[in-house]
Amino acid sequence: MSEKRTIDVAATQMLDKAKEIGFLTTFDRAKAQEPRCTFGNTGICCRICLQGPCRILPKKPGGNRGICGAADYTIVARNTVRYIAGGASAHSDHGRHIAETLLHVAEGKLKDYQVTDTEKLMRVAKKIGIETEGRGVMEIAKDVATAALDEYGRMHEEDLTWITSNCTDSRLEVLRKTNIMPTNINLSIAQLLHQTHVGNDSDPINIIFGGLKAALCDYDGMALATDLSDILFGTGVPVVTEANLGAIKADKVNIALHGHNPLLSQIVVKAAREMEGEAKAAGAAGINLVGICCTGNEVLTREGVAIATNFATQELAILTGAMDAMVVDVQCIMPSLRSLAECYHTKIVTTMPIMKIPGSYHLAFDEHNAINSAKEIIRLAIDAYKKRDAAKVCIPDVKNTVVAGFTLESLLNIFKQINADNPIKVLTDAIEAGEIKGVALFAGCNNLKGTHDENHITIATELAKNDVFLVATGCAAQAFAKEGLLNGEGVQKYAGEGLKKFHARLNAAAKLTTELPLVFHMGSCVDNSRAQELANMMAREMGLDNRDIPYVATAPEAMSEKAVAIGSWNVALGNPVHVGVVVPTVGSSLVNDVVTKIAEDVFGGFFFWETDPVKAAARLVEILDERNWKNAM
Ligand code: BF8
Ligand code: SF4
């Protein structure tokens, strides 16, 4: 683990503050975990049955296998794919929740939600083969929602709709040939858990393929989550806002929206606009919403809500002493928030039945009564504000301007100003002309095995220097937001000559009130589906399979099970994937070779691990160069 904790100036100030008050943050806890157990760290510890934990002790007679006889490769493969099962469950459950809500809207059961983007509804309906001619909006919405829900439980053997309607034909052929095309999200995830039960599959290759099938369910669930969220809440357009802890305002009621699902955060945004008066009556200048983690990315994209911080530094928002409430829904929420909130007046409000924190305030969010639920939450925040201790307020004066909202649609709208008939050609032409080398997607989390945000920033600036077009989601995008890479100055500071020229052309065409950013923020982690759609469009336009397009993905600070699932479907869809932490597959050279080498022969996509960000960037550039060079032959 790195000695330097973070490169974020605001976070550094708050960590000093934590020290001052004697609160041990996640950074201290990460240190306390060192040294790590080598077995766990490399993936050769099995806890799948109650006889375990079994560790692989190669030198000890009988120790080179688990008690049941499982070899290192079985243990490592099983552990890895069980991460995927967790990630795919989280993403697809998020998607299911959105689909259910859309269905209830279409059935007239929810008064506080509506179909906001009918154009997107029509596009999605057409994409998945639902008749739109002469039919009403709600009728079509009902069919789209039903089709989405059918992905989770259909009993007929039909390939998943969001995969077949998004992927290129040649890629679908690869998925079918390798027998990893799923037909039912819940079934594939359950089957994977069955497959990896004690005494079941011990063939690492078969286990990995089972894992990839579940990873594709992760993709399917997130693709439908993105589509249906856009239908319900609108498809983001470019917005200007700010990011970092300096976005928290001393004179306002501050509410952090933390978690993942826009079903709650969108309604809180709406309710907050109606409740400015109540906040003012309590003596505040108004209500200030800020985002943390992916629900922050959702409301940034659609509503221009500022970003407070990303995963690793979520506790630090409370340490400002000015956070009145932190409203959380699901995923990536640290249980430690509650104990820190006790040192302040901050209310932690959990809202979902599957995510509670002992001792925190739980307000069950009810979609049938969404606005009122949201108002109740905001009132808690206003009440808390009244108890705020001004002497404890310490907000770092650190923030950067953010230009975000680059859903694929809004990006294509900019390209359209240059080529109205075939917008994606603007990107592929620039690649073919050698102006830019290709596209890199930054995804994923923070991981305190390294210095917070450092890998994100170093790799991005290195790639920019090498004329790579950059898109980002999740906590990676938030790192860029905080560090000033999501604005035009970022281009001037870091972009190479080719990328600068490309941006200048886009800027001239886009005619926005502000310059386009160095990195295009595509949204939350489920919006990695937007980036994949971009890759698929590139493949179609270039007449290539995904395995040959100059497109790479990197998760410089991957942490969650969801990140493992995302990385895995990226590989299955033909994308080279860099991971900036050492992952627990290295305990089996066989499994490690399969995912880093053999995968390339089968899928064109593959993983590589590199903790040194400069080396990682160099390898990513090399991969793009190789793909361009092959295409030019
Ligand atoms: O879904 S990037 S730490 S917040 S898992 Fe979590 Fe990772 Fe952040 Fe968003 Ni994605
Ligand atoms: Fe040990 Fe086998 Fe049980 Fe794993 S499944 S804990 S290797 S006995």
412 pLDDT more than 80: yes
**pLDDT surpasses 70 at 2:** no
Distance from C-alpha of 369 to C-alpha of 206, rounded to nearest angstrom: 47
C-alpha–C-alpha distance, residues 610 and 608, integer Å: 7
Q: Domain for residue 91, yes or no?
A: yes
Evaluate: CB of 76 within 6 angstroms of ligand 2: no
- State whether 162 and 263 are in the same domain: no
Judge if 539 and 418 occupy the same domain: yes
Nearest Cα to 144, choosing from 133, 131, 134, 156? 131
Q: Parallel, antiparallel, or unpaired: how do β-strands 519-523 and 468-473 relate?
A: parallel
Distance (angstroms) between ligand 1 centre and the Cα of 421 equals 36
Say if residue 7's pLDDT is above 80: yes
Residues 5-31: what's their mean pLDDT?
97
Predicted pLDDT of residue 426: 98
430 shares a domain with 378:
no
Predicted confidence (pLDDT) at residue 211 exceeds the cutoff of 70: yes
- 218, 295: one domain: no
Distance CA 106, CA 103 (A): 5
Mean pLDDT of 424-430: 98
Q: Is 64 in the pocket of ligand 2 (CB under 6 A)?
A: no
Domain CATH code at residue 297: 3.40.50.2030
Strand partners, 176: none
200 confidence band (pLDDT: 50, 70, 90): very high
User: If you average pLDDT over residues 426-433, what whole number do you get?
Assistant: 98
> Tokens 């880093």 map to which residue?
596
pLDDT value of position 182: 98
Q: What are phi and psi of 66, to 5 degrees?
A: -70, 175
- pLDDT (mean) for 252-262: 97
Tell me how far apart the alpha carbons of residues 299 and 286 are, in angstroms, rounded to a whole number.
18
- CA distance linking residue 89 with residue 5, whole number of Å: 31
Say if residue 538 is in the same domain as residue 574.
Answer: yes
pTM, entire model: 0.97
Does residue 63 fall inside a structural domain? Answer: no
Measured in whole angstroms, the distance separating CA 388 from the mean position of its chain's CA atoms is: 33
Closest C-alpha residue for ligand 2 atom 3? 49
Which atom of ligand 2 approaches the CA of 199 most closely? 5
Residues in the chain, total:
633
- Pocket, ligand 1, Cβ cutoff 6 A: 260, 293-294, 311, 332, 444-445, 474-475, 524-525, 559-560, 562-563
Asked whether residue 15 is domain-assigned, the answer is: no
For residue 467, being part of any structural domain is answered with yes
Q: Which ligand is nearest to the CA of 314?
A: 1
Q: Report the domain count for the chain.
A: 3
Q: Is the CB of 201 under 6 A from ligand 2?
A: no
512 and 576 belong to one structural domain: yes
How does pLDDT run across 458-490, given as a tens digit for each residue?
999 999 999 999 999 999 999 999 999 999 999
**Do 471 and 614 share a domain, yes or no?**
yes
Is residue 66 a part of any domain in this protein? no
Atom of ligand 1 nearest to the CA of 443: 2
197 lines ligand 2 (CB under 6 A): no
66 ligand 2 Cβ < 6 A: yes
Instruction: Decide if 51 is inside a domain.
Output: no
214 lies in the same domain as 295: no
Residue that terminates a domain, selected from 322, 357, 392: 392
**Distance between CA atoms of residues 26 and 315, nearest Å:** 8
Verify that 549 and 587 share a domain, yes or no: yes
Determine the pLDDT at residue 105: 98
Give the position of tokens 């080396």. Answer: 615
**Given its phi and psi angles, is residue 43 left (phi above 0), alpha (psi -120 to 50 degrees) or beta?**
left
In this predicted structure, the answer to whether residue 156 has a pLDDT above a threshold of 90 is no
Residues 6+ apart with CB under 8 A from 16: none
Least confident of 1-15, 320-334, 468-482: 1-15
Query: Per the domain annotation, does 536 fall within a domain?
Result: yes
Residue 514 in domain: yes
pLDDT single digits (tens) 513-560? 999 999 999 999 999 999 999 999 999 999 999 999 999 999 999 999
Q: How does residue 1 score in pLDDT terms, banded at 50, 70 and 90?
A: low
Among the three residues 233, 258, 275, which one is the final residue of a domain in this structure?
A: 233
Q: CA dihedral in degrees (425, 426, 432, 435; nearest 10)?
A: -170
Average pLDDT, the chain: 97
Q: 597 C-alpha to center of ligand 2: Å?
A: 28
* Amino acid symbol at 322: A
What local confidence, expressed as pLDDT, does residue 155 receive? 87
Ligand nearest the Cα of residue 331 is 1
Assess whether 314 and 342 both reside in one domain.
yes
Domain with 350 in it: 245-392
Q: What is the DSSP string of 422-455?
A: -THHHHHHHHHTTSS-EEEEE-----TTS-BTHH
pLDDT value for 591: 98
Task: Give the pLDDT confidence of 341-363 residue by residue, as tens digits.
Answer: 999 999 999 999 999 999 999 99
Distance 227 CA to ligand 1 centre (A): 19
411 and 378, same domain (yes or no): no
Cα of 571 from ligand 1 centre, angstroms: 19
Q: What is the pLDDT of residue 631?
A: 86
- How many angstroms does the Cα of residue 215 sit away from the middle of ligand 1? 16
Contacting residues for 134 by C-beta, under 8 A, at least 6 apart: none
Determine the atom of ligand 1 nearest the C-alpha atom of 473.
Answer: 2
- CATH code of the domain containing 181: 1.20.1270.30
Average pLDDT over residues 185-194: 98
Assess whether 211 and 265 both reside in one domain: no
